Chains A and B, each alone.
Chain A
């Protein structure tokens, strides 16, 4: 079972190749005439040399060493690993979408511009915002864009606010994005309910605060039920409210950030809107704003005129650009396909099933694990391995043990405010049987942690490699293969 897969560079033989190209069909010139010798590459280019078949075998072998949503359950909290419909992949590969240049004359890409326009209308309706930009390529990119918009808004009013607030339960990207936009970060504590401590928030609010970044439901999977009071308090001091859309899947079709008082939102199309995450990306992080922030949006924006769709470039107050072109269009095509198939009732149903699945699983697990916040959750919930930890079994160990049952583990050790956290998000696309089998696996691991902790600590047993040494990987980083094994 356990074996190494050779590197690309250890396969093949000099002289093999994996592609064919057409011969030159224009009169050939000596290469030295086109490219003077002093501009030519000196260092020989050491790329792999494999036949096409060998290449396919290599990557097929690698793929069998990887777990995706198609392989099995993937309850990674705050990542919304729902099923990725196959039709989306077909659509994105249509030559009429995949083979377009971003700088083609608008009259030759009216269908693509219409798709962006329509997708924008869907997202405006779903979020309750007034306008959308698709340039951000991922959630964190959306956050950075949002922070740029907020800064531009305040500056346009001659207001040099310096502080952004984020709860102690927030995603790491929130403070990182705000810092990248030049803001000082202050942390808002959570109260015993696991929600924003409203009193503490009020004490942090003043005319230095540019914005509060909030995920709702939060990373504990709990809905911030004081949201209207929070919004009023932030707006009262002239601050803006930023919505991290990572957890929108919980409430889509049931409530909208725009109605809660949020001024800026980003969405993660690769979470809520069922586009695949690609082993790390590409995602897409469109940003929606209320009218008062629209003048600052990145350019160009797609608009509909009498003669069709056109690029609107003349926004005098724009923050400029955050992407070289129009964002991750191919991902937007997939999300749009998903939205037109789901419709309003389908999206609402998806959110309700996601919440039902999470509550069902939480109910099943609370007998074997500590549940720090025992209240109705939304799309995800957090259990704690603090009891198991007393026997030496951490949340991370439980995650490794789950690998032997064929499941991807939950998010571990996050949010930071829960000791030994396991953050579980089943999503709506999982059947009850899967939830039951997952619960049984976690129950069995809890039993083992009590009776035979050593067996949990030794996991995983069935994966292509056993536990990996992350500490020495970071101490002496080897990030580029130089042909030598460590043991050599």
Chain B
């Protein structure tokens, strides 16, 4: 039996007529030029097809094997976060004029997507204080890697410094992007969980293209950013930040710190965690770097009768025009996730986003105080935290997670495999989605373990 018949409108009669119309004797004729040695005479060896009802049941059964975040409160962050998403977001991204469209190559019938991208770019600029932004990249990790590549191209230098307080997963992506181009990556050591600027001063040289930092950093700490831009700029390097856009509702903006390129993970803006993808890499920069920004960019223009309209612009940067001389190979991006982010930011407004950020600050501080008051649990790093904090454990993190699962709780992120020098330690994340009751349950379960 053929699966998916309800997606295929041609009837057998039509197929016969159409074959006759093109002068083909049979369907095999359509594939006549395939060498016999590679023809799949037997077809593929796959499980029998399922009807929609059976497929739904199969997928629901797979989904039911997972413990999701509404069943088990989750205290893991580390790059993907559980924030509240207003219902309006998925209703808008679920409009099929948006989600079943391709990249807006034909501007006159793609004004909806193009205007929404332009609005998204403007929102990202307002959050970060930058002057230009693109339509999105794959995720926060690849956005940081693209920024490093862009910085090398802009400065014609070949070395990048990255702080060890940058997300370790991001650093691995960065490494693979730079390795293939024979660009050099050096890691900056930490002092009390934050970038050691004295070490940075020693490593910065005339071949350093950029200083890469994360704010709030991987441990949830707000780093002292004041020296960073001056330090980088004094050596002719760019300051590149990876940041959490929610934090920007209350924290100093990258522009205020003097950053040149700002990237980050936009999943927090209206996109579910979705097991780590699709995410939303955002990329914003100073005006002078606009032609170094990778990927799609929507721009404002006018139509032949003077109406405002939007187009994909600065396309001579891109692969479909420049091929091997393009500044990046990116083609498809995360447009629908960018749309979700724009809807989210507009729904929140300045007051709502500030409330979300303050709820994170307050609740994380409450949880940190309670947890570090427990016997055997201690704060790893002092300093100002946003929504995450590291805790030293009395035993191993892996075992603790098993224990928490029994209490219907998920995580902490086990830090030991990522930072062995910390010993047994865990990174906890508390957002506005966690009630006091849930935080107290976590504290209770931790107490029961120690």
| Chain A bound to chain B | yes
A68 CB-CB contact with B under 8 Å: yes
List 16 extra interface pairs beyond A19-B348, A99-B273, A376-B30, CB under 8 A: A35-B384, A91-B56, A91-B59, A96-B62, A101-B76, A101-B80, A101-B275, A141-B142, A274-B7, A280-B103, A329-B275, A340-B49, A341-B55, A342-B3, A467-B303, A479-B118
Interface centre among B18, B30, B256, B401 (most CB of A within 10 A): B30
Task: State the CA gap A8–B76 with chains docked (Å).
Answer: 34
Residues in A1-29 with C-beta less than 8 Å from chain B: 2-5, 7-9, 16-19, 21-22, 24-29
Note all chain B residues with C-beta closer than 8 A to A122.
Answer: 46
Contact with B along A63-92 (1 / 0, CB 8 A): 111111111001010010111110101111
Residues in A90-139 with C-beta less than 8 Å from chain B: 90-105, 107-112, 114-115, 122, 125-126, 137-139
B42 to chain A, nearest CB (A): 9
Question: Which one of A29, A46, A100, A478 lies within 8 Å of B362 (CB-CB)?
Answer: A29
B25 CB-CB contact with A under 8 Å: no
Question: Which one of A55, A139, A280 lies within 8 Å of B135 (CB-CB)?
Answer: A280
Note all chain A residues with C-beta closer than 8 A to B65.
Answer: 96, 110-111, 114
Note all chain A residues with C-beta closer than 8 A to B49.
Answer: 340-346
B252 CB-CB contact with A under 8 Å: yes
Task: State the CA gap A59–B336 with chains docked (Å).
Answer: 13
A41 CB-CB contact with B under 8 Å: yes
Given the interface pairs A182-B180, A277-B103, A460-B108, the reply to whether A324 lies near B18 with Cβ below 8 Å is no
Contact A101 B411 (CB under 8 A): yes
A240 CB-CB contact with B under 8 Å: no
Contact B102 A76 (CB under 8 A): yes
Question: Which one of A8, A43, A256, A429 lies within 8 Å of B253 (CB-CB)?
Answer: A43
Task: State the CA gap A102–B271 with chains docked (Å).
Answer: 14
A254 CB-CB contact with B under 8 Å: yes
Question: Which one of A101, A139, A278 lies within 8 Å of B99 (CB-CB)?
Answer: A278
Closest B residue, CB atoms, query A126: B44
Note all chain B residues with C-beta closer than 8 A to A355.
Answer: 30-31
Note all chain B residues with C-beta closer than 8 A to A345.
Answer: 1-3, 43, 49
Note all chain B residues with C-beta closer than 8 A to A87.
Answer: 52, 55-56
Interface centre among A52, A56, A93, A138 (most CB of B within 10 A): A138
- Which stretch from A173-181, A201-209, A384-392, A445-453 is at the chain B interface? A173-181
Note all chain A residues with C-beta closer than 8 A to B365.
Answer: 29, 34
Interface centre among A179, A223, A355 (most CB of B within 10 A): A179
The 9 listed contacts between A and B (C-beta, < 8 Å) are A98-B273, A281-B332, A319-B176, A340-B50, A341-B3, A352-B27, A431-B10, A472-B302, A473-B313
- Which stretch from B121-129, B233-241, B374-382, B388-396 is at the chain A interface? B121-129
Residues in B51-93 with C-beta less than 8 Å from chain A: 51-52, 55-56, 58-72, 74, 76, 78-80, 82, 84, 86, 88, 90-92
Note all chain A residues with C-beta closer than 8 A to B421.
Answer: none
Question: Which one of A18, A44, A253, A481 lies within 8 Å of B346 (CB-CB)?
Answer: A18
- Pick the 4 closest A-B CB pairs, nearest first: A325-B276, A96-B63, A343-B49, A102-B276
B-side interface size class: 35 or more
Residues in A156-201 with C-beta less than 8 Å from chain B: 172-173, 175-182, 185
- Which stretch from B155-163, B188-196, B206-214, B351-359 is at the chain A interface? B351-359
Note all chain B residues with C-beta closer than 8 A to A255.
Answer: 31, 34, 38-40
Task: State the CA gap A463–B309 with chains docked (Å).
Answer: 12
B184 CB-CB contact with A under 8 Å: no
Task: State the CA gap A175–B322 with chains docked (Å).
Answer: 9
Task: State the CA gap A403–B105 with chains docked (Å).
Answer: 13
Contact A359 B30 (CB under 8 A): yes
Task: State the CA gap A112–B63 with chains docked (Å).
Answer: 7
Given the interface pairs A47-B123, A319-B176, A325-B279, the reply to whether A68 lies near B7 with Cβ below 8 Å is no
Contact A176 B324 (CB under 8 A): yes
A62 CB-CB contact with B under 8 Å: yes
A235 CB-CB contact with B under 8 Å: no
A147 CB-CB contact with B under 8 Å: yes
Note all chain B residues with C-beta closer than 8 A to A225.
Answer: 33-35
Contact B33 A376 (CB under 8 A): yes
Note all chain A residues with C-beta closer than 8 A to B330.
Answer: 138, 140-141
Task: State the CA gap A460–B108 with chains docked (Å).
Answer: 8
Contact A111 B435 (CB under 8 A): no
Task: State the CA gap A175–B80 with chains docked (Å).
Answer: 33
Note all chain B residues with C-beta closer than 8 A to A353.
Answer: 8, 10, 15
B255 CB-CB contact with A under 8 Å: yes
Contact with A along B300-329 (1 / 0, CB 8 A): 111111111111011110111111111011
Question: Which one of A70, A137, A356, A411 lies within 8 Å of B10 (CB-CB)?
Answer: A356
B98 CB-CB contact with A under 8 Å: yes
B361 CB-CB contact with A under 8 Å: yes
A277 to chain B, nearest CB (A): 5
Contact A430 B410 (CB under 8 A): no
A368 CB-CB contact with B under 8 Å: no
Question: Which one of B64, B277, B323 lies within 8 Å of A329 (CB-CB)?
Answer: B277
B131 to chain A, nearest CB (A): 6
Question: Which one of B79, B222, B301, B308 lies within 8 Å of A325 (CB-CB)?
Answer: B79
